[in-house]
């Protein structure tokens, strides 16, 4: 089965052609980073307009690169939520219209489930059951994954997502957007132990996260010490990143031990942080736990993961009707 997947939940317009749920024939992404950079974050109205401009060329390019004809497409799937409503509507309605016009099955995909599916598009793959972390600018959630369709939410952020904290700290330091890659690059030059930023673990036994206290602590440090030089900013970046990694790692290993899992999978934009992957892998190895992460091009928002998840939904008859709509927030099963 050849599936056309479309993703437009935030600031990337993406389309992909995936065969039989795992074989990526093409994956095209049009990013809006240059548009949102000067604002220090995504502007929803601008994002929606950019999606409208990009959606047709991106889909055309995905079909061309996959070297298939329109007649070869067996199903169409698109992100239904969560995400920015205006942005979601562009991709979802385009895909719905495409499917209706060609009388193809159409499914609306949960963006968070799709991020977990990105782990199945890379080798090696985690084995069921495993602990999954979806960590990005909008989400920091831990799941116990027991099958391709069962994701038990164990914990989530109570305030800022980890990726959002990276972006906000980068903005405080005047480093630009997106903050994650910039902070990771700067952090390499300094010893993270030089500043003791707090690690918020919440109440005993909780798998939830909270990064607002850490963010506030960084803001106070910048204000109190009148941070201005590149070296000073690099030190803050290093110590801040280490605090986030410590919390994520402890919660993930705790969750794996609680569920007697030997595999941890991390996905979402922050999983592209090589420092995080390396340190989590080292800490997990001492507990005889293996860590898995998607290939770099599958860490952020992409349509290949949407197509992969949509493939299983189409196979199981979990289809959308014309009257179905997008959603901004939800929990996966």
pLDDT tens-digit readout, 186-221: 999 999 999 999 999 999 999 999 999 999 999 999
Whether residue 251 sits in one domain with residue 208 = yes
Whether residue 267 sits in one domain with residue 170 = yes
Whether residue 153 sits in one domain with residue 89 = no
Asked if the structure places residue 108 within a domain, the reply is: yes
Full strand arrangement of the beta sheet holding 140-147 = 150-156, 140-147, 130-135, 263-267, 290-292
The confidence score (pLDDT) of residue 333 equals 47
Whether residue 63 sits in one domain with residue 208 = no
Q: How confident is the model at residue 38 (pLDDT cuts 50, 70, 90)?
A: confident
- Is the pLDDT at 34 greater than 90? The verdict is no
Whether residue 283 sits in one domain with residue 176 = yes
Q: How confident is the model at residue 331 (pLDDT cuts 50, 70, 90)?
A: low
Asked if the structure places residue 331 within a domain, the reply is: no
Whether residue 180 sits in one domain with residue 133 = yes
Asked if the structure places residue 333 within a domain, the reply is: no
Whether residue 256 sits in one domain with residue 304 = no
Whether residue 287 sits in one domain with residue 155 = yes
Asked if the structure places residue 329 within a domain, the reply is: no
What predicted TM-score, i.e. pTM, was given to this entire model? 0.94
The confidence score (pLDDT) of residue 169 equals 97
Whether residue 275 sits in one domain with residue 135 = yes
Whether residue 109 sits in one domain with residue 178 = no
**Closest to 21 (Cα-Cα) out of 320, 295, 317, 314:** 314
Q: How confident is the model at residue 148 (pLDDT cuts 50, 70, 90)?
A: very high
Three-state secondary structure along the chain? Answer: CEEEEEECCCCEEEEEEEECCCEEEEEEEEECHHHHHHHCCCCHHHHHHHHHHHHHHHHHHHHHHCCCCHHHCCEEEEEEECCCHHHHHHHHHHHHHHHHHHCCCEEEEEHHHHHHHHHHHCCCCCCCCEEEEEECCCCEEEEEEEECCEEEEEEEECCCCHHHHHHHHHHHCCCCCCHHHHHHHHHCCCCHHHCCCCCCCCCCCCCCECCHHHHHHHHHHHHHHCCCCHHHHHHHHHHHHHHHHHHHHHHHHHHHHHCCCCEEEEECHHHHCHHHHHHHHHHHHCCCCEEECCCHHHCCCCHHHHHHHHHHHHHCCCCCCCCCCCCCCCCCC
Q: How confident is the model at residue 13 (pLDDT cuts 50, 70, 90)?
A: very high
Asked if the structure places residue 87 within a domain, the reply is: yes
Whether residue 145 sits in one domain with residue 233 = yes
Number of domains in the chain: 2
The confidence score (pLDDT) of residue 91 equals 98
Range of the domain at 160: 125-293
Minimum mean pLDDT among 14-23, 25-34, 80-89, 189-198: which range? 25-34
Asked if the structure places residue 306 within a domain, the reply is: yes
CATH number at residue 22: 3.30.420.40
Asked if the structure places residue 323 within a domain, the reply is: no
Look up residue 315 and give its two tokens. Answer: 């196979």
The confidence score (pLDDT) of residue 35 equals 80
Whether residue 183 sits in one domain with residue 54 = no
Asked if the structure places residue 247 within a domain, the reply is: yes
């Amino acid at each position: 089965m050849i599936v056309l997947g479309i993703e437009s939940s935030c600031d990337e317009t993406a389309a992909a052609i995936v065969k039989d749920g795992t074989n990526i024939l093409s994956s095209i992404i049009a990013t809006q980073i240059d548009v949102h950079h000067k604002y220090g974050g995504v502007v929803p109205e601008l994002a929606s307009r950019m999606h409208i401009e990009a959606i047709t060329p991106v889909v055309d390019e995905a079909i061309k690169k996959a070297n298939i004809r329109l007649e070869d497409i067996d199903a169409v799937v698109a992100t239904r939520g969560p995400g920015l409503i205006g942005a979601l509507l562009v991709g979802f309605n385009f895909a719905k219209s495409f499917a209706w016009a060609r009388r193809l099955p159409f499914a609306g995909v949960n963006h968070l489930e799709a991020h977990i599916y990105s782990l199945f598009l890379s080798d090696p793959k985690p084995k069921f059951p495993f602990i999954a972390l979806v960590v990005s600018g909008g989400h920091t959630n831990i799941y116990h994954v027991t099958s391709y369709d069962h994701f038990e939410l164990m914990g989530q952020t109570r305030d800022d997502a980890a990726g959002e904290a990276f972006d906000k700290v980068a903005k405080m330091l005047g480093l630009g957007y997106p903050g994650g890659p910039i902070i990771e690059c700067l952090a390499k030059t300094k010893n993270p132990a030089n500043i003791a930023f707090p690690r918020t673990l919440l109440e005993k036994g909780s798998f939830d996260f909270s990064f607002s206290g850490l963010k506030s602590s960084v803001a106070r440090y910048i204000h109190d010490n009148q941070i201005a030089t590149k070296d000073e900013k690099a030190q803050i970046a290093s110590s801040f990143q280490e605090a986030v990694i410590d919390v994520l790692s402890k919660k993930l290993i705790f969750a794996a031990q609680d569920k007697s899992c030997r595999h941890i999978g991390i996905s979402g934009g922050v999983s592209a942080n090589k420092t995080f992957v390396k340190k989590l892998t080292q800490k997990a190895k001492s507990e005889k736990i293996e860590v898995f992460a998607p290939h770099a091009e599958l860490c952020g928002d992409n349509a290949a993961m949407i197509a992969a998840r949509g493939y299983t939904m189409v196979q199981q008859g979990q289809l959308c009707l014309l009257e179905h709509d997008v959603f901004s927030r939800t929990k996966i099963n």
